[in-house]
């Protein structure tokens, strides 16, 4: 791995931040892969999220849940990105066939397609709770929803996902 040249102060901040990064980055990326359906889009958002967390690490690092801050930042970035991608995405989905790159990838595409068909709010609730193992209260804080609303969304999302994938509950 390439070694960065950083001033002393920046290095200290970066070292503190690094342990957080190592612990959370992979999970954040995976959650975003599920959320946006595209690995590179996901990693781009994850990179920008972590950069923002690093820039505010003096404040974020002392929070009760820096990871919660990161996920909220990521969700906000994703929402804004979705709006801006809307025009291009519409065109792209209209003109590009879904890739067929083998059974494993096909399986992945099925899940992504099913996830992308869920409304944003349902998808986010599902990923926070069922993938990241947050409880509905934590997920509610990230999403700005009451826990009961998260539970309702969760139920709908699970049902829709199973229906779309033809699985039985």
Partner 1 sequence: MSETKELLRRGVGEFEPMPDAFDRVLARRDRKRRNQRAAAGVLGIAVFALAAIGFVRLLGSEGTPAGEPRSPFEGTWISTSDPDGGTQTMTISVSADGAVEIVVTDDIATVCSLTPSTMTGTGRIEAGTQLVIPEPEYTCDDGSVPESLSGPPLEEQLRDWTLFLDPQTDSLSDGFGGMWHREGAEIPSPDPTTSGAMWPQTSLEEVREAQELADAGDPDYTWQLDPNLAAWPDSNPEEPWGAEIFQRFSREVLGWEEFSGFAIEGYVPEGGHTHHLGGVVFIRCAPGRTNPLYPKPYREMPPAVRGCAPTIDDSRYETVRFDLEQEGRIGPSGIWVVTRWELLQPAGPYSTFDHLYPDFAQSQVEQTAPPSTAEVTAFLQEFLAARVDGEGAEDYLRHLAEGPPSPDEEVPLLYATTGGTPYERSEIERVQGPVWPAGWSEFKVRLFAADGTVVEQSFVVIRQEDGRLGLVYGFPQTDGFPTTENGQAVPVPYSILDGEVTFAAAPPWSDTILDRTFTVLGGVGRGSASQFTMFTIVADPLTGVGCEAGPPAADVEALVRSIRSNPDLEATAPVAVSLGGIDALQMDVVAAPGASDCGQIDRLSAGQDGPTRLYLLDLPEGMSARILAVAISALESEFEHVVEAAAPILDSFEFHTR
Burial tier of 131 (Cβ tally within 10 Å: 0-12, 13-18, 19+)? middle
Smallest distance from the beta carbon of 148 to partner 1, in angstroms? 3
Return d(Cα 94, Cα 31) in angstroms, integer. Answer: 26
Q: Does 82 bind partner 1 (CB under 8 A)?
A: no
Site membership for partner 1, residue 1 (CB under 8 A): yes
Residue 9 engages partner 1 in binding (rule: CB under 8 A): no
Residue 38, SS3 per DSSP = coil
Which residues, including other chains, have CB under 8 Å from residue 105's CB and lie 6 or more apart?
99
Does position 156 interact with partner 1 (CB under 8 A)? The reply is no
CB 115 → partner 1: shortest distance, Å? 6
State the DSSP code for 4.
Answer: P
Backbone angles phi, psi at 91, to 5 degrees: -65, -45
Nearer to partner 1, 8 or 83 (CB): 83
- Residues in 112-151 at the binding interface with partner 1, rule: CB under 8 A: 112, 115, 126-127, 130-131, 141-142, 144-149, 151
**How many residues contact partner 1, by CB under 8 A?**
79
Residue 12 vs 76, nearer CB to partner 1: 76
């Amino acid at each position: 791995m390439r070694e960065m040249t950083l001033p002393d102060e920046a290095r200290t901040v970066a070292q503190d931040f690094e342990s957080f990064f190592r612990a959370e980055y992979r999970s954040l990326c995976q959650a975003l892969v599920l959320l946006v359906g595209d690995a590179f889009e996901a990693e781009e958002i994850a990179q920008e999220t972590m950069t923002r967390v690093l820039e505010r690490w003096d404040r974020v690092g002392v929070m009760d849940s820096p990871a919660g801050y990161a996920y909220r930042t990521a969700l906000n970035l994703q929402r804004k990105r979705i709006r801006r991608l809307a025009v291009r995405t519409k065109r792209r989905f209209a003109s590009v066939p879904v890739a067929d790159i083998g059974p494993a990838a096909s399986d992945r595409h099925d899940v992504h397609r099913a996830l992308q068909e869920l409304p944003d709010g349902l998808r986010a609730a599902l990923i926070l709770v069922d993938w990241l193992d947050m409880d509905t209260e934590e997920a509610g804080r990230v999403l700005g929803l009451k826990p009961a609303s998260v539970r309702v969304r969760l139920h709908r999302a699970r049902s829709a996902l199973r229906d779309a994938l033809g699985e039985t509950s």
